[in-house]
């Protein structure tokens, strides 16, 4: 799942080497904290958050098949 988030975000940005994904596990959920270069923040979020929402939907669909709860948090 972490590789999926890494792949999706690094395909969108101009600085793919600056993308960092950290996995944090709670009791019943997994949170992926995505850090990107400051210049790429707008590309990852998109207009009105559409791209960020699409990334979250794809990851949630993949997690649903594995019966897990997943959250994606985008940070600069």
Domains of the chain and CATH, by start: 2-75 (3.30.300.20)
Please determine, for residue 76, whether its predicted confidence score (pLDDT) is greater than 90: no
Q: What is the largest CA-CA distance in the chain?
A: 35
Please determine, for residue 23, whether its predicted confidence score (pLDDT) is greater than 90: yes
pLDDT at 55: 96
pLDDT at 27: 87
Q: What digits encode the pLDDT tens for the residues 27-56? A: 889 999 999 999 999 999 999 999 999 999
> How many residues are listed for the chain in this entry?
76
Cβ contact 74:36 at 8 Å: yes
């Amino acid at each position: 799942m972490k590789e999926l988030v890494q792949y999706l975000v690094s395909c969108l940005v101009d600085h793919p080497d600056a993308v960092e994904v950290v996995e944090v596990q709670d009791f019943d959920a997994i949170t992926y904290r995505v850090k990107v270069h400051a210049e790429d923040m707008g590309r990852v979020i998109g207009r009105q958050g559409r791209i960020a929402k699409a990334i979250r939907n794809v990851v949630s669909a993949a997690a649903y098949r594995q019966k897990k709860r997943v959250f994606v948090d985008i940070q600069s």
